[in-house]
Amino acid sequence: MASSDLPTAVEALTLQTTSETSKFPNCFPSLNPVDIYREHIAQKLGEATGIDQEKIYSRLQWTSTLDKGDLVLPVAALQIKKKPQELCEELAAKFPESDLVLPPSCFGVHLQFFFRPERLTHTVIRRILKEKAAFGTNGNLGLKDPSDPSKGSKKMIVEFSSPNIAKPFHAGHLRSTIIGGFLANLHTVMGWDVIKMNYLGDWGKQYGLLANGFKRFGNEEELLKNPIGHLFDVYVKINAIVSEQDAPIKALKEQIKAKKEKNEDASELEKELAPLVDASEDEAARRYFKSMEDGDEAALALWRRFRDLSIKKYRETYARLNIDFDVYSGESQVKDESMKAAYDTLEKSGVAEKSDGAVIVDFTKHGAKKLGKAIIVRKDGTPLYLTRDIGAITERDEAYHFDKMIYVVAAQQDLHLAQLFKITELMGHKELANRCQHINFGMVRGMSTRKGTVKFLDDVLRDVADKMHEVMQKNEEKYKQIEDPKATADILGITSVMVQDMSGKRVNGYDFNLEAMTSFEGDTGPYLQYAHARLCSIIRKANLGAEDLDSANLDLLTETQAHDLVRLLSSWPDVLVNTMRTLEPTTIITYLFRMTHILSSGYDTLRVVGSEPEVLKARLALYASARQVLNNGMRVLGLSPVERM
């Protein structure tokens, strides 16, 4: 079994693969303990009943709670012409004596299988202690061709975060960052070759505004100290002037429109309007941006400087969230020729049409009425977001030859992404469109700083860290033992934000609640970290080495709490496989909280302090396994597990 480290910001995410083969699809008994049992049940039940073993194997299901068994077989899914209840009882009676599973029982029309705890305990704990960070990972699932590993891994681009330079990094960007980072980690531990891409909003007339604003209000020292904050201040100031100038311009335009509607002469008003427009900051910004588009080196140099300084600052913020991007792309990077090639294709194929001087796609004419109409080129000949996105899709396909590309973008952009994929298809790239997927999410309500204003992510994270620091200081004794309380408070603050974000389904929005998410009560980020720190403390105080745990007599783990914890630990590889289907971080979060609940309810029964030396070793091996799986799960989510708090 080969294990290789992966270059990723999430330390200790390692990956295991196997060259073993099974007659069952996606069955890896040496990587996933539950596959041993699936294979066993399918073979034994198939031999005893004559039912196709592969049919049985593919229909065995996970259970939502341990009292329902470790695996269940919904007998109706076997499609055998018999009353399901009768068939269930017949299959239960025919299942032979087994050293791995207890005799199955019927629960309605489900055949329930419970694993024999002794064998499972040995298999699971030994594996976790040996495989450590690699336990649960499966590089085989990311292979292009499972029958020929030499063809390599499937390649995925995850485009996420994508803030606009000089604008606040708001809640939508935060959600995109958290979800995108998680999806990148998940696919990495399942063997995909993942490229993390940040597609910045870094082009357009607003950069003309920003450049002109910087000449008036900019400060070199402030720019170097806090580029994003300073550029935002400049942007706000110049926009205030634009709004002021806009009022009389707008009023004159209305008067001109009214006169023209009455067929009256509006030339005097037009003469009055022209110098106002010409002298406006908005027009100056348009001219500046035109010079950028025309390749004016001085204009581009300033824009490049803003972009580079902003990216440098973003990198620091992303590092706090355990994220590093492989590629900083952006609207500015999309080549004109890619967009032109897209127009030409759309025009030649008759997909695009002229409308009032603009070029549009009318989706109703292409069997997609719900998508309405989309402008591809404005009247003045300038491209839109959509045009750049069309160019970007084809460029990325040529550059990366990806197997899948995921866009992690808020649900408000559902229509935009649906139009993008449909246009890609209409251009003759149906297969490319099918390799793209939009992962959407709901909005965050009320994300603001203590000062009450929606501000930058750094401000919000600082607030949450301060709140966690206040909470930590309440326990003086524990506080003294923490080496760097401020750094720990920062990690706990970030954990609380991320766990609150990932606790519900992605598509659901939520209220940003500082009090609730920094609480140690209930299923919160701090509680998850507390569970990890408590396990670290138990292991630390016992002061035993790895060799002591390896030689532990696991037959001494006879309590129901120990067996239930082992059963849950055994399902971690399955949880990852299931998460590949749901693409929901809450699938993992829910599992980790189930584990913390079993742990906390068992600490009294499975005491370490004061136990017999051999019992102590066995329980410690169990706790070390639980800590490892909890750590693995937290890292896939993008969290940094703490050892003391």
Q: Is 173 a catalytic residue?
A: yes
- The residue among 605, 528, 530 whose CA lies nearest residue 561 is 605
Catalytic residue among 44, 110, 173, 532: 173
Catalytic residue among 40, 122, 170, 416: 170
> Strand runs (DSSP E) across 468-575, as ranges?
510-511
Chain mean position to CA 285: 36
DSSP at 153: B
8 A C-beta contact, residue 159 and residue 197: yes
Cα first-last separation, the chain: 36
How many C-beta atoms surround the C-beta of residue 615 within 10 A?
18
The CA distance from 188 to 157, in Å, is 11
Coil vs helix vs strand at 179: helix
- What phi and psi values does residue 437 have, to the nearest 5 degrees? -140, 140
Q: What is the 3-state secondary structure (H, E, C) of 45-68?
A: HHHHHCCCHHHHHHHCECCCCHHH
Q: Is 110 a catalytic residue?
A: no
The CA distance from 180 to 9, in Å, is 13
CB neighbours of 588 closer than 8 A, spacing ≥ 6? 575, 576, 579, 633, 636, 637
- The residue among 578, 542, 564 whose CA lies nearest residue 67 is 564
Q: Is 429 a catalytic residue?
A: no
Q: What is the 3-state secondary structure (H, E, C) of 197-266?
A: EEEEECCCHHHHHHHHHHHHHCCHHHHHHCHHHHHHHHHHHHHHHHHHHHHHHHHHHHHHHHHHHCCCCC
8 A C-beta contact, residue 175 and residue 444: yes
Residue 506: both structure tokens together: 């992605």
Catalytic residue among 68, 94, 132, 167: 167
The CA distance from 293 to 169, in Å, is 26
Which secondary structure element, helix H or strand E, spans residue 566, and what is its range? helix 560-570
8 A C-beta contact, residue 410 and residue 176: yes
The residues annotated as belonging to the active site are 167, 170, 173
